[in-house]
Amino acid sequence: MIGGVWVAYRGEAFKLLIQRRTWLGFATAAIGPIVYLLLELTQGPPHGPLTNNLGHTGVGFALVVVKLIAVFGPAVIAALVAGDIVAAERADGTLKTVLTRSLSRTELLIGKLLALFTYLALAMALFFVVSTIAGIIAWGFNPLVNISGYRISALHALGLDIVSLLVYTLPVLAIASFGVFLSVVTGQSVPAVGGTIIYAMALQGVAAISSLQAAHPYLLTNQLTAWHDLFQTPTGGALIVRAIWVSAAFALPPIVAALVVFNRRDVAS
């Protein structure tokens, strides 16, 4: 099983590297922070966590941008590949060739999922590196004032930035998992990509409904701000723990459903 998944993962990772959508996602992750930096320099910082540090230090700039792009930015980056990862091969008829290998359909789909998650991790890493370098060039590598108003060293803040981006990526992976489900079920790239973005926007819309206040802590999009726990004094952990299990709760059902459909449907025809 593990050997088959590894074979599928290597093949899918290579295919992602040569696809235009993958590099479009990387470009979006890299260009977004630069565009925001230019806007901030001309219009001034918005209100939000850590924005008071802009102009004094570039550490934490990535998290300021993360707050601005909310769910839409990562949803687009995830949808570009997630919605296409099965549908494109089915439309091109290449699944026939893939399924003739000594791989089960489960191994193939898990390999695709792992390749997708690797792509998203690399996209978020690229986003972080570009944001941090741009911020440091603009405002220097200086201490940061956290959400609670406490001053922390630049190196400490940089370490927290990295952990925060990891936490932020968890709900993004859950959104991508739904995109894979749509890719399997619809068998078409456009509905799957568009459906993934609509799904993320719908979750954001539900989070804005005040009558559902009691459910807000357990909505997927609200886990995108769980990293706030790391920038408070004393440092918390409850929000991060909740982000882990809520993201898993949203990711596992579409993954399981995609596996069931992929194994039962005549995807090779």
Per-domain residue ranges for the chain?
2-264
Average pLDDT over residues 17-43: 82
pLDDT at 88: 67
CA distance 106 to 100: 14
DSSP 221: G
243 pLDDT exceeds 70?
A: yes
Nearest to 230, CA basis, from 140, 162, 131, 135: 162
* Exposure string for 137-170, b = 16+ CB within 10 A, e = fewer: ebbebeebbbeeeeebebeebbebbeebbebbbb
Q: Could you report the per-residue pLDDT of 171-207, keeping only the tens digit for each? A: 999 999 999 999 999 888 888 889 999 998 898 888 8
Percent of the chain with pLDDT over 90: 45
Find how far residue 243's CA is from the centre of its chain: 13
44 pLDDT exceeds 70?
A: no
Residues sharing a CB contact under 8 Å with residue 1, sequence separation 6 or more, in sequence order: 107
Average pLDDT over residues 130-141: 92
55 pLDDT exceeds 60?
A: yes
Residues shown for the chain = 269
For the ranges 88-102, 121-135, 179-193, 210-224, the one whose mean pLDDT is highest? 121-135
For the chain, the average pLDDT equals 86
> What are the tokens at 137?
């060039």
Average pLDDT over residues 157-176: 94
Average pLDDT over residues 220-232: 92
* Exposure string for 65-96, b = 16+ CB within 10 A, e = fewer: bbbbbebebbbbbbbbbbbbbbbbbbeeeebe
pLDDT at 101: 59
**In this predicted model, which residue has the larger pLDDT, 65 or 92?**
65
| Full-model pTM | 0.89
Q: Picking from 114-118, 137-141, 208-212, which range would have the lowest pLDDT averaged per residue?
A: 208-212
